[in-house]
Structure 1
Amino acid sequence: MRHMLHLIVIGLLGLTAPAFALDDEPAYRLVVLGDSLSAGFGLSDNEALPARLDQALAARGLAQVIVLNAGVSGDTTAGGLARFDFSVGPDADGVVIALGANDALQGQPPARTRANLAAMIDLARARNLDIVLAGMQAPVNMGVEYRAQFDAIYPDLSQAEDIALYPFLLGPVILRPELLQRDGLHPTAEGVELMAAPLADFIATALFVLPLREVTP
């Protein structure tokens, strides 16, 4: 939050905002609290989403952002809530809450998933953390009614809690089977790269009020 306020003040003064990666800027620790989609199932640590997101943010002038991987394969929103304070350490400045996919796969009640996510948001707010909620969607085979209830959780929470919503974490790869591993659920290394780019764009604007710009390869 302090970085966002710094940039807003610069804008009000009519000055040109400098690149975030200034020598005197402290590191900004952004924790990705998630499941196997964040942990990097089937991939090396440097191929996992947090590592790719770290690189993508640096390419956008946010080199001071350190993205930390707090993904646990198989985790649910209940698990994320139980370990929130442990996984999102005391030095964290912001958190990406990227949980719920396993809730849907297990057919857990959407109301329970929503309550767990809301409780995590409350914990983050109590610590004055910047928050990004990464949306998930229920599988097609869960049925129309369940999908409608589950998929509505994220936009409803975003509006009710006034927090930034990244619409669908798997959006860039879900309809491209060549970017998924053999299980059809987890992205390949190439798929993760494609996921990281728009997520980095979103975070750059949502948390750091930097305009979108062309990224140098």
Structure 2
Amino acid sequence: MIKIASLLFSLLFSYTVHSNTIDHSSTLLIIGDSLSAGYQMPVEKSWPVLLPEQLQQQGKKINVINASISGDTSGNGLARLPALVTQHQPDYVLIELGANDGLRGFSANIISDNLSSMINNIKAQNAQPILMQIHVPTNYGKRYGQAFSGIYPTLSEKQNIPLLPFFLEHVITQPEWMMSDGLHPNVKAQPWIAEFMAIELSKLIE
């Protein structure tokens, strides 16, 4: 996962995606990792860029700001979050983080604490946190995998926030939608992911 180039890109500006309407009823900030950052593809092909049009088809006029960076951990996201929320004043913040923590074998407690702090920060700024479920590959061991996966529903219930299903679970069953590394969706998968996310988010966004 390429970190340095993406980080420099993010420091210069966050990629903002507008729907085709002038009036936006709300703003969604996405803070994630390579699964949301358009890893190894033109950024305009990534699902967050395609999301506003799909949301519009669901009857939602949304301004989408994608602040995802390939390689980010929950700790990186926690460090970047306050400035992003202050800058963009979002109504909703989608947290898609934890995969890199899991791939590095970080403690489930550390990941949970970081995500919980992000959720509290978002709430303090009068925005609605939305958490996405993340899973790690089975080769990391059953015990770790269960502990890791359990972080997300536990936080969702404890913090009383929505939990979105992990889109990669559906994509990974389609080999033609995956990159050769077996971890990242390719450009062919992005329209489906955008539609999937729009359907899920439209249930939560006013």
TM-score normalised by structure 1 residue count: 0.81
Q: Which one-letter code corresponds to 1:58 in the other structure?
A: Q
Task: Measure, in 2, the Cα distance between the counterparts of 1:156 and 1:61.
Answer: 31
How many residue pairs are counted as aligned between the two chains?
A: 186
What residue is the counterpart of 1:13 in the other structure? none
What corresponds to 2:96 in structure 1? 98
Please report the TM-score for the alignment, with normalisation by the length of structure 2. 0.85
* 8 Å contact from structure 1 (residues 28, 65) kept in 2: yes
Please provide the CA RMSD for this pair.
1.7
1:76 aligns with 2:73: yes
Offset of residue 83 of structure 1: 0.5
- What runs of 5+ residues in structure 1 fail to find an aligned partner? 1-20, 209-217
Q: Give the 5 Å matches for 1:53-68.
A: 53-62=51-60, 64-68=61-65
Q: Deviations over 1:159-185 (max 9, x none)?
A: 111101002131220222210111111
Distance in 1 between residues matched to 2:141 and 2:165, nearest whole Å? 21
Conserved? CA contact 1:172–1:195, under 8 Å: no
Partners of 1:202 and 1:95 in 2: CA distance: 14
Name the counterpart of 2:124. 126
CA contact (8 A) 2:24 2:63 kept: no
SS in 2 for 1:181: coil
Q: 1:195 to 1:140 in 2, by over 3 A?
A: same
> 2-side partners of 1:54 and 1:152: how far apart?
30
Instruction: Return the alpha-carbon distance in structure 1 between the equivalents of residues 130 and 27 of structure 2.
Output: 13
Question: Contact between 1:171 and 1:195, CA under 8 Å: does it hold in 2?
Answer: no
Q: How does 1:8-23 map to 2 (within 5 A)?
A: none
Q: Deviations over 1:71-98 (max 9, x none)?
A: 1110000000001012333422211000
| Aligned twin of 1:18 | none
Q: Hey, what's the Cα distance between the residues in 1 that align with 2:167 and 2:116? A: 18
Does the 8 Å CA contact 1:29/1:93 hold for their aligned counterparts? yes
Distance 1:137 1:130 in 2: 23
Opposite residue 122 of structure 1, the aligned amino acid is: N
Aligned to 2:138: 140
Which secondary structure state, in structure 2, belongs to the residue aligned with residue 152 of structure 1? helix
Letter in structure 2 aligned against 1:74: G
Q: State the secondary structure of the residue aligned to 2:70.
A: coil
The percent of aligned pairs where both chains have the same amino acid is 36
Question: How many angstroms apart in 1 are the aligned matches of 2:54 and 2:21?
Answer: 17
Distance 1:94 1:196, change over 3 A: same
